[in-house]
Amino acid sequence: MTARLTAAPTPAGAGTTPPAAPLADPRFRRLLGAGWSALPAAVRQRFGKRLGPGQSANYAGEVVLCRMSLAGWLLAHAARLIGAPLPLDRGGGVAAVVSVTEDGASGGQVWTRVYARRRGFPQVIHSAKRFAGATGLEEYLGGGVAIALAVSPIAGGIRFASDHYVLVLGQRRLRLPALLAPGRLTIDHVDCGDGSFLFSLALHHPLLGELIHQISRFHDTKDISHD
């Protein structure tokens, strides 16, 4: 005779706390102005929710392609000194995960990107989007380096484009001269209409041309709430 093991029933409402719904977030709406209403509903949903303590928005997918010139490869590896904010490997077909949480210290968001590598441990990139600065949005990369971003609507999504680079030295903020900047950075978020979106990163230097171009495809996953 075979014994059957069954879990004891859990009393209704005991030991379970339903996750809190994300709060409405007007921060990106304010940056885009009238362009906000033209965005696809899925894009407004991703950028229009504010995560509370213990909550994260998570997206999983893969790197479709990543190409880089020799100068781009050298720059990406030199940037490891400030936390490796640029992709390190050429090619594609590797897994990728993005997690977004609120940054209580700055009132912005922390973005964590994990890219699998064909050899070795995955590359982990941390950056913080801060709703401050001359353009209203900065991405802090680490090592005292930040990028002032201009935000604009594009067909199917949003574009974040570098306006200028900033060195943060304690309480001092120094705008990096254009001649010393690594080039114009554009990051596009374009909805695909099936619960997925394309994330593309392009870095173009005025003299050296295209340094890096990466395209990844992600899909929405259920937001996570940690008790």
Question: Is pLDDT above 70 for 220?
Answer: yes
Which residues are within 8 A (CB) of 207 and not within 5 positions of it... i.e. 6 or more apart? none
Average pLDDT of span 166-194:
93
Residue 2: its pLDDT value, please?
Answer: 40
Residue 52: its pLDDT value, please?
Answer: 86
- 218, 61 contact by CB (below 8 A): yes
Which residues are within 8 A (CB) of 220 and not within 5 positions of it... i.e. 6 or more apart? 42, 46, 59, 195, 196
Please name which of 132, 129, 128, 164 lies closest in space to residue 147, comparing C-alpha atoms: 164
Res. 215 pLDDT band, cuts 50 70 90: very high
The residues that bridge with 61 in the sheet, in sequence order, are: 96, 218
Please tell me whether residue 73 adopts helix, strand or coil conformation.
helix
Separation of alpha carbons 61 and 196, rounded Å: 9
Question: Is pLDDT above 90 for 5?
Answer: no
Residue 205: its pLDDT value, please?
Answer: 96
Residue found under tokens 């590797």: 94
Question: Is pLDDT above 90 for 226?
Answer: no
Pairing label, strands 123-130, 108-115: antiparallel
The whole-model pTM stands at 0.85
Separation of alpha carbons 112 and 144, rounded Å: 18
Separation of alpha carbons 168 and 131, rounded Å: 16
Residue 125: its pLDDT value, please?
Answer: 95
Question: How does the average pLDDT of the chain come out, rounded?
Answer: 88
Question: Is pLDDT above 70 for 223?
Answer: no
Pair of tokens at residue 127: 């950056």
The residues that bridge with 96 in the sheet, in sequence order, are: 61, 115
Average pLDDT of span 153-160:
97
Question: Is pLDDT above 90 for 15?
Answer: no
Residue 25: its pLDDT value, please?
Answer: 85
